[in-house]
Amino acid sequence: MPDRLSALDASFLYLEDATTPMHVGGVAVFRRPRTGFDYDRLVELIEQRLPLVPRYRQKVVHVPGRLARPVWVDDPDFDVTYHVRRSALPKPGSDAQLHDLVARLMSRPLDHTRPLWETYLVEGLKGNQIAVITKTHQAVVDGVGAIEIGQVMLDVSPSPRRPLESLWMPQPEPSGLQLVADAVAEAVQRPGELVENVRSAAMDTVATVQKVAGALGGLASALRTASTPAPGSPLNVRIGPARRFAVARGTLEQFRAIRRAHGGTVNDGVLAVLSGAMRAWLMSRGEVVSAHTTMRAMAPLSVRDEDGSNGVAAFLVDLPVGESNPVVRLHHVSHAMRAHQESGQSVAADTLVKVSGFAPPTLHALGARAASSFSRRLFNVVVTNVPGPQVPLYAAGARMTEIFPVVPLAKNQALSIGVTSYDGGVYFGLNADRDAMSDVDVLAAMVEESVEELMGTVSE
């Protein structure tokens, strides 16, 4: 019997429309090695790693009459060159041109008749650099067995690991009659599910999401915060299909110095920096900012489940954007996040980076899933922060120098922020609605200014 999508995975397909494509992405910048790195080499690398991500050769097939949730089936016409594409910037390509390309690629929904992912090799960057942009639908990264392609492309050595010996033969695609028969058999065993599937087919997707909203967990403090709607914000507006993308950079040593001077965690420092940047951004727009102004962030965090496994839970925190003192902002954030740290569920950063391969792309995808399962009335902005390894990583001999997450937007959410630390750097990716956030590059610059502001409080 084919592998059926979970209720949560199916909800991402049902909720997707032209303005809210449900894919998560990443932008990795590499230094081209002396041996070269071209499109053919990237295709070869991904073909070698596909056995590690079997979902990437499967597509979604709907059951006739929507009698059951869709199923994953092998794509008999799978063509890796359809999914791995190439692009180029006019030499020497600038950061701004790369970011504009990222925004345009992320604006386009994935083709639902094929496996739900794409990877782009971008050539022409200045300084003998190349970039790899990935797009993966949230339904693919199910949090159980599937991982994101960016996690398996990378090695800890310039010499790639030995390719897996694997001959892939697609399983025959089930007929419509077989899919209906399987659905009827399941309905006999669980009759209540048939009614729920028909409701979902009638596009009652809000009920579907509410039903699975608790599937990714939550903490008591988050539920207390969720008892009141999020404050008004220019980030909560009707959005369109087009996007803008901007980045900011810091160093891990800066955030560690802030932690040593003022306590808290590196994640607290990141949220405090974003609080300061949001404050400056609101004021640059002429918004009224009082001492009590807050902006609520949905900050998915890694937690340890009851069975001892690691997962991702949604956590709501009110960012103190009205506070003018950067140290006081940090203390406010640390106090708000302490409930998570004291819950016994939190997972230390050094535990996360021991995950095989490069875990941040997968964990950002899971964070986006956690945020999508909550009502959009409860928060203003999504912030996913995932620690990465502090050693260089390579793709087919090319050293990765930077990695920026691209977290998808939800309905009436004009901004999502992904943060990843890697090899001594801290990298912010800001994905924004093109019309509502024409000044997202201004906000990105303010993130870097906020880092410097907080660093100014650290005594040498």
pLDDT tens for 185-223 read: 877 766 555 445 444 444 434 433 343 333 334 444 444
What percent of the chain is modeled with pLDDT above 90? 54
In the block, tokens 């103190």 appear at 320
pLDDT: is 357 or 114 the higher one?
A: 114
Q: Work out the average pLDDT over 62-69.
A: 86
Alpha helices in 353-417 (DSSP H): 360-372
Encoded tokens for 7: 């209720």
Give yes or no for residue 358 having a pLDDT over 70: no
The edge-to-edge listing of strands for the beta sheet with 3-4 is 3-4, 71-74, 58-61
Among 166-175, 305-314, 446-455, where is mean pLDDT lowest? 305-314
**Band (385; pLDDT cuts 50, 70, 90):** confident
Pick 410 or 217 by higher pLDDT.
410
The number of residues making up the chain comes to 460
pLDDT confidence of residue 246: 98
Q: Name the least confident of 91-105, 315-329, 362-376.
A: 362-376
Mean pLDDT of 296-303: 74
Residue 201 confidence (pLDDT): 42
Q: Which range, of 71-80, 181-190, 256-265, 385-394, averages the lowest pLDDT?
A: 181-190
How many whole angstroms separate alpha carbon 398 and alpha carbon 427? Answer: 19
Residue percentage of the chain with pLDDT more than 70:
78
Tell me, what's the pLDDT at 351? Answer: 37
> Pairing between strand 71-74 and 3-4?
antiparallel
**46 and 119 Cβ atoms separated by less than 8 Å:** yes
What is the average pLDDT value for the chain, to the nearest integer? 82
Beta bridge partners of 118: 135
Q: What is the pTM of this model?
A: 0.86
CB 353 within 8 A of CB 390: yes
CA dihedral 432, 436, 441, 444 (to 10 degrees): -60
Q: In angstroms, what CA-CA distances link 54 with 4, 10, 24, 46, 73?
A: 15, 19, 18, 12, 11
pLDDT tens digit sequence for 247-286: 999 999 999 999 999 999 999 999 999 999 999 999 999 9
- d(C-alpha 25, C-alpha 192), whole Å: 36
Residue with tokens 């959005």: 239
State yes or no: pLDDT of 375 exceeds 60.
no
Residue-level pLDDT at 333: 95
Q: What is the pLDDT of residues 7-39, one digit of tens each?
A: 878 877 887 888 989 898 999 999 999 988 999
Most confident of 84-88, 200-204, 212-216, 387-391: 84-88
Q: In which band, very low, low, confident or very high, does the pLDDT at 179 lie, cut at 50, 70 and 90? A: confident
Q: Report the DSSP beta bridge partners of residue 172.
A: none
User: Residue 110's closest CA among 418, 371, 438, 408?
Assistant: 408
> Which pLDDT band holds residue 67 (cuts at 50, 70, 90)?
confident
Facing residues of 303 across strands? 311, 346
Residue 190 to residue 182: CA distance in whole angstroms: 12
Average pLDDT over residues 402-429: 93
Count of CA atoms in the C-beta half-sphere (13 A) of 199: 14
CA dist., res. 142 & res. 88, Å (int) = 32
Identity of the residue numbered 346: S
Q: Are 429 and 27 in contact (CB under 8 A)?
A: yes
Q: Classify 345 as helix, strand or coil.
A: coil
pLDDT of res. 342: 57
Quick one: pLDDT at residue 340? 60
* pLDDT at position 350: 41
